[in-house]
Amino acid sequence: MMNLSQLANDVGEVGAVCVRGGGTRWDVGGAAGDVQVVMAPTGIDSFDPAEMTVVVGAGTTLSELADALAARGQEVALDGPPGATIGGALMVGRSPLRRGRLGEVADVLLQADCVGADGQVFVAGGPTVKNVSGYDLCRLLVGSLGTLAVVGRVILRTRPMPEDSAWMSGEVPLKVVLQSVYRPATVLWDGRQTTVRVEGHGADVNNEVDLLGGLGLERVDQPVLPRERDRWSGFLPSGGVLEVGAGVVHQLERPSPPAVAAGVRVLGDRMREAFDPRRRFNPGRDPHRVAA
Amino acid sequence: MESAERCEPAVGVIRSGILPEVNSTKRVDQDWRSTVRKRIDGIGLGWIRGKTAVIGDPLERDLVEALGRERVVTGSGARSLYSRDGSVTRGGSAGIVCFPETTDDVAACVTVAVSHGRAFVARGAGTGLSGGAVPCDEPVMVVTTRMNSIYEVDLDRRIAWVGPGVVNLDLSRHLSGTGLHFAPDPSSQQACTIGGNVANNSGGPHCLLYGVTSAHVLAIEVVLPDGEVVLLGAEEGRSPGYDLRGAFVGGEGTLGIATRICVRLTEDPPEVATLLLDFDQIEGAADMVSAVIASGIVPAALEIMDKRVIEAVEPFVEAGYPLDAAAVLIVELDGLPDGVADAIERIKAIGLDHGARTVRVAKDDEERTRIWKGRKNAFGAIAVIKPDYYLNDTVIPRTRLAEVLMRIYEVVEERQLMVMNVFHAGDGNLHPLIVFDAREPGVMERVLEAGEEIVRISVEAGGVLSGEHGIGLEKKRFMHMQFSPADLEAQDQLRRAFDVRGLANPAKVLPTGASCGHVTNLERAPKGTWV
Amino acid sequence: MTTSNQQRKELSTLLGLDDEGLAACVQCGLCLPHCPTYRATGDERWSPRGRISLMRSVEWDNVVPDDEWHAAMDTCVQCLGCVTACPSGVPYEELINTTRSAIAVNRRLPLPLRVGLWLLGKPSLLRSGSRVLAVFQRLGLMRLMPTNLVGALPRRIPMKAPRRPPQLVDPAEVTLFTGCVMDVWQPEVHAAVEDVLTAIGVSVERSGDRVGCCGALHGHAGLDSEARRHAKRVVSTLSGEGPVLVDSAGCGAALKRFGDLLGTPEARAFSDRVADVHEWLAEDPRLASFEVSVAGATGHEAVIVQDPCHLRHAQGCHGAVREVLKRHVDLVELDDDGICCGAGGAYSLIQPKLAADAREKKVAAVARATSRSGATLVVSANPGCSMYLGAAGLKVRHPMEVLAQVFQSHRADSSKLGKAVAEGEVDFGG
């Protein structure tokens, strides 16, 4: 079993701290600032496909985890750039592109063993796939940019990989495509082209591919999306791609900071104050600045 | 909220006719009445208002001012009824019972309550099984059952905005024919409200594939414990800041009151197959569950019923459960036709490997309905065997189902009690049901002991205290089994951020802090008390 | 309220509820959505679970019933929707009946209700009174009447009941229980039943005025002795062996309970003879064989089936209505789990607001069924429901009227039936 005492030691009881994963999305929500950097443990503790859960150090890279899971036919609802870590993906809190099938990032974290601002280790959530024992700290931690606690070891929900999949794209109205496919993994729209990923049982995927082909869509490679993200506001900027149902626009421009309702900000600030009254964790970052 | 009229001397509380105005949603009339009342009081003619008007209790007076007389109830009958929910908990004590109809009404209830230093408790249909809505020390009861409008259904975006008082099954009924439904389907879905589902993060058989309530709630309008109204989450995607929506769901009413809820609607699957497998040994059924998951199939539902449940249910529903089986396993598969057909074959093979005697695939909707009817009526049929039952709810790793089940039979039978098992096997979510007759002397202590032992066994097996019923009052005392003081402190930090003064449904969930009046579980067994 | 504290205290010892029955409720709350008054108010006091809990408070905890308590008991429609929904088999019908009786001992019913119930036992007076109302209606004078009453009356009260020539078979194979108010206001339903029975070769006689009212409404109001008096008269007048068929779900439920109500062997034997007309027809082979020969002879009209509570929840034989109709009309189901329409015998007069709320929901359910299917005609096997829903503007017929019409249009269509009979194609079963 992975021990968090080293991490707790590193975090200590005083001084500003920031946890570093792969550093692939280091600028999300503000600059880390010149503070002490700690690293979460790495490595896979245990994985049992029959439980559909994996116990893993938050510092482990997504690709290492993906390889280990794929060997047993499973995967996890996290994605990120090459080199990204599990902890980083959870803290940035973006749902995977294939969210229609894999699920949301909010639902992936079952348990998190953390170090709090007082340097004490605490456990959020529980090890089982279903759990309503106490408050849902896990969902609070996802997307918190490391401002509430340093996450060291996590238990994640895994899912079986689909047998087959296909990306299809064509100049077909979005609504037509949506009505033709059952639970698509991803639907993208760039104002002209509708791109969809279908996945599942081989024969079902073939049928859907045929059906979509009949509508005028063609098989394509996974599309490369613009790097920046903004909230969907009903307006698609030039070069932008809407991730349908996710409320996200992938675009070239860096988005302006989102508007946050006063009440939500007050509550959010109170949350941060409750967990980290001395603002030790990631003082330069603020989840309220993340647009999407 | 203070005004001159509150200074008049208290003359005692006498209410007008007991029959509330049923269709009294005309706020205009109430405003008119209160205006006249104020004028009359203003010129010192308060006596004209006579016995209907003078309210001695300032809290009641302010609530009546805010909501109107008809929607503020103080009768001892109402207070006794609202002192409990569907759980075993006894000894709760409700204060004034309010029936708000809008977000503003709820905000007013909360504001008035806290301005008087009084706690408040939100309550839906009162079907909870852990005492989460049982009031401690006469809080203001905020009953959301009249907030039962389905405000908006957007079929294109697959979302719906509903009031917290909308009954779970009513929403899916409302959607029938649209090709969409609301996925969480707790066993009480015909009666429980969506507000209650949010508070408990409810599950149900089909959350194995589709996820629990949290995965289906996109945004929530919440009246916070200081009366402030905020919108948590967003109709689509994440909202800036922390996932306060995620934190709120499952908060058991201690973080505020949901007043409007935006839920995700799920596509009806094009193909559904329901399989019934029966076994000589319950271990075979339990092990098969893990094997199914390990094989890469995630069924929509995987439910086990043991021999005693089969014997109780079959005569009623005639679902065709073999009466000589030690257990039956219901497997539901859904999706596109080829995948479902393929999965049926694979399930059959796995079943035979694990000692299934027969595998029956429902031929049509009628047969499917009957198979499910037995599962859904299980608790009712059990009530016929013994007058009282105590239903537990824990989760264990599904690979340890067989071994933990055996331990549960042991610890219950050691105490000369009978336990029946009917549960969400796919999630490892156990629902051991101890049946007994409360009139038997000393039985309560044994039931309590066995219940505690079941929780202990589950946690020791790497499980958790509750999978869908919540902690409420019932399992507060077990929290230390699963959580360290530091873990509980972190949870308390979350709670405090929402509820600085600790007035939202106090004394629930966390074992630290306030105790709840004279509340006990299973404490006495006068004639007829059930647990 | 007219009870003094002293009387109330006595009431607390008088409920006399069965302990086991009272104990059977596990307070799970699954009854809530099936209760029309809870649906209307969202108020636990006006729910089955709440009422049981309030009964317990009086029976077990010596709580003195107050206005709030009485209001809870008074507002129950006694639709028994909760009984069907209850997974624990709580005998709610017994509980509320006993409670109502205990209340009635101590508290006089409102005068208009007493007068109304008394009238039910006076067929000739009832008939004359009804004719006066019919005249009022035709003269447009109904606005002078209490709105509660007007809202619950048939839209067109018959001036005179059509009479049939007496049947020649003596004794007739079956007796049709004609009751009180239905005989006056919906004589066409009895006539339709006679038509259907006769068409398939069943001889029928009417119970008529000498048998009169079943006393169901008296029982609902807690007037035990009145209910028993009516029951005794019905049992003794309708002696004999043949089936007693009932075309009013409310009366049928009451007649079937006479055995329990009176507790005598005669009453039990009588109750065993009672069947709802649909229930009896669905089991009788003559209907099926007759229908085979007429099938396809008529255009299939779709009807929306509304289950009266006393057929669905009290007698549990609502399936028979479908059995009987399904070969001739398309059946459209409501999506409301058979929740009460609010009529509830005299309920719509006593609790007009609560009743109207339930009716609004029923009308909405019918509208949904109409938008799904295009059907507009509603069938209901209870006079109270059909009058109350009819007063809200719905087109409501008794299932037997629909069936009789099918048979009649077939006859009118050609003389096929006569020919069929002559050629021996129709087996009338002797």
What CATH number is given to the structural domain containing B323? 3.30.70.2190
Name the region of B318 (left: φ>0; alpha: ψ -120 to 50; beta: rest): left
**How close B433 gets to chain A, by Cα (Å)?**
19
Domain boundaries, chain C: 5-106, 288-413
- Using the beta-carbon criterion (under 8 Å), do A140 and B246 form an inter-chain contact? yes
B16 belongs to a structural domain: yes
CATH number at residue B243: 3.30.465.10
DSSP letters, A170-234, are ES--HHHHHHHSSS-SEEEE-SS-EEEEEEESHHHHHHHHHHHHHHT-EEEPPPPPPSEEEE--S
B6 DSSP assignment: G
| Chain C interface mutation, best of B13, B16, B19, highest count of C Cβ atoms under 10 Å | B19
* pLDDT interval class at B437 (50, 70, 90): confident
Q: What is the pLDDT of residue C20?
A: 86
Q: What is the pLDDT of residue A197?
A: 98
- pLDDT at residue B118 is higher than 90: yes
Cβ–Cβ under 8 Å, residues C69 and C54: yes
Find the radius of gyration of the CA atoms of chain A: 20
Sequence letter at residue C358 = A
Q: Which of A11-15, B48-52, C92-96 has the lowest mean pLDDT?
A: B48-52
Cβ–Cβ under 8 Å, residues B140 and B78: no
- Both tokens assigned to C187: 């004589």
Does the A5-161 domain belong in CATH 3.30.465.10? yes
B294 belongs to a structural domain: yes
Cβ–Cβ under 8 Å, residues B373 and B426: no
Q: How far apart are CA B275 and CA C393, in angstroms?
A: 47
Using a CB-CB cut-off of 8 Å, the residues of chain C touching B130 are none
Cβ–Cβ under 8 Å, residues C342 and C355: yes
pLDDT in tens, B445-478: 999 899 999 999 999 999 999 999 999 999 999 9
Cβ–Cβ under 8 Å, residues B222 and B248: yes
Of residues C337 and B223, the one with the higher pLDDT is B223
User: Across the interface, which of B126, B176, B380 has its CB nearest the CB of C29?
Assistant: B126
**How close A124 gets to chain B, by Cα (Å)?**
7
- What separation, in Å, do the N-terminal and C-terminal C-alpha atoms of chain B show? 42
Q: How far apart are CA C142 and CA C401, in angstroms?
A: 28
Of residues B387 and B137, the one with the higher pLDDT is B137
Q: What is the pLDDT of residue B79?
A: 97
> Hey, is A36 helix, strand or coil?
strand
- Using the beta-carbon criterion (under 8 Å), do B190 and C60 form an inter-chain contact? no
Q: How far apart are CA A158 and CA C254, in angstroms?
A: 60
Sequence letter at residue B501 = R
Q: Which residues contact C390 (CB under 8 A, 6 or more apart)?
A: C154, C155, C396
Restricting to C residues 396-415, those with a Cβ less than 8 Å away from any Cβ of B are none
Chain Cα centroid distance, residue C412: 32
Q: What average pLDDT does range C272-277 have in this prediction?
A: 96
Same domain, B185 and B302: no
Same domain, B36 and B139: yes
Does the C5-106 domain belong in CATH 1.10.150.530? no
pLDDT in tens, C348-362: 988 999 999 999 999
Domain count, chain B: 3
The verdict on B148 touching C (C-beta cutoff 8 Å) is: yes
- Using the beta-carbon criterion (under 8 Å), do B78 and C44 form an inter-chain contact? yes
The one-digit pLDDT tens for each residue of chain A (292 residues) are 578 999 999 999 999 999 999 999 988 998 887 899 999 999 999 999 999 999 999 999 999 999 999 999 999 999 999 999 999 999 999 999 999 999 999 999 999 999 999 999 999 999 999 999 999 999 999 999 999 999 999 999 999 999 999 999 999 999 999 999 999 999 999 999 999 999 999 999 999 999 999 999 999 999 999 999 999 988 999 999 999 999 999 999 999 999 999 999 999 999 999 999 999 999 999 999 998 8
- Using the beta-carbon criterion (under 8 Å), do B22 and C41 form an inter-chain contact? yes
**How close B315 gets to chain C, by Cα (Å)?**
14
- With residues binned 3-state (H G I as helix, E B as strand, rest as coil), the percentages for chain B, rounded to 5, are 40, 20, 40
Q: What is the pLDDT of residue C48?
A: 98
**How close A220 gets to chain B, by Cα (Å)?**
23
Cβ–Cβ under 8 Å, residues A155 and A124: no
- What are B329's strand-pairing partners? B277, B304
Using a CB-CB cut-off of 8 Å, the residues of chain C touching B384 are 88-89
- What are A220's strand-pairing partners? A167
User: Across the interface, which of A48, A274, A291 has its CB nearest the CB of B493?
Assistant: A274
A235 DSSP assignment: -
- Using the beta-carbon criterion (under 8 Å), do B81 and C63 form an inter-chain contact? no
Q: Which of A227, A282, A286 is nearest to A20 (CA)?
A: A282
For B151-189, letters b (16+ CB in 10 Å) and e give: eebeeeebbbbbbbbbbbbbbbbbbeeeebbbbbbbbbb
Cβ–Cβ under 8 Å, residues C48 and C78: no
- Both tokens assigned to B36: 């006249």
CA C269 to each of CA C242, C248, C275: distance values in angstroms, whole numbers, following the listed order: 11, 20, 13
- Using the beta-carbon criterion (under 8 Å), do C30 and B188 form an inter-chain contact? yes
Kindly compute the dihedral angle of the four CA atoms of residues B72, C103, C314, C147, in this order, to the nearest 10 degrees.
-60
pLDDT in tens, C305-319: 999 999 999 999 999
Q: What is the pLDDT of residue B26?
A: 33
Q: What is the pLDDT of residue C90?
A: 92
Same domain, B359 and B257: no
B319 belongs to a structural domain: yes
Q: What is the pLDDT of residue C295?
A: 54
Domain stops at, among B356, B376, B396: B376
In this structure, are strands B394-395 and B429-430 parallel, antiparallel, or unpaired?
antiparallel
Mean pLDDT score of chain B, rounded to an integer? 87
- Using the beta-carbon criterion (under 8 Å), do B395 and A51 form an inter-chain contact? no
Domain stops at, among B376, B411, B430: B376
- Using the beta-carbon criterion (under 8 Å), do B241 and A264 form an inter-chain contact? yes
Q: Please tell me which residue of chain A has the smallest CA distance to B462.
A: A127
In this structure, are strands A194-200 and B120-123 parallel, antiparallel, or unpaired?
unpaired
CATH number at residue B105: 3.30.43.10
For CA atoms A166, A167, A171, A176, the dihedral sign is positive
- pLDDT at residue B251 is higher than 90: yes
Question: What domain range is B216 assigned to?
Answer: 150-267
Q: How many CB atoms lie within 10 A of CB C69?
A: 26
- pLDDT at residue B154 is higher than 90: yes
Same domain, B280 and B352: yes
Same domain, B154 and B26: no
- Using the beta-carbon criterion (under 8 Å), do B338 and A207 form an inter-chain contact? yes
pLDDT in tens, B24-49: 333 334 444 455 454 444 444 444 44
Does the C288-413 domain belong in CATH 3.40.50? yes
Sequence letter at residue C411 = R
Same domain, B131 and B158: no
B433 belongs to a structural domain: no
Same topology, domains C5-106 and C288-413? Answer is: no
**How close B495 gets to chain C, by Cα (Å)?**
29
pLDDT in tens, C49-82: 999 999 999 998 889 999 999 999 999 999 999 9
Q: How many CB atoms lie within 10 A of CB A101?
A: 18
Domain stops at, among B326, B345, B376: B376
pLDDT in tens, C183-217: 778 888 999 999 999 999 999 999 988 888 999 99
Cβ–Cβ under 8 Å, residues C131 and C159: yes
Cβ–Cβ under 8 Å, residues B63 and B72: yes
User: Across the interface, which of B18, B377, B383 has its CB nearest the CB of C71?
Assistant: B18
B341 belongs to a structural domain: yes
DSSP letters, A260-287, are --HHHHHHHHHHHHHH-TT--B-TT--G
Q: How far apart are CA A129 and CA B424, in angstroms?
A: 12
pLDDT in tens, B505-527: 999 999 976 677 666 654 433 33
- Using the beta-carbon criterion (under 8 Å), do B242 and A136 form an inter-chain contact? no
Mean pLDDT score of chain C, rounded to an integer? 85
B525 belongs to a structural domain: no
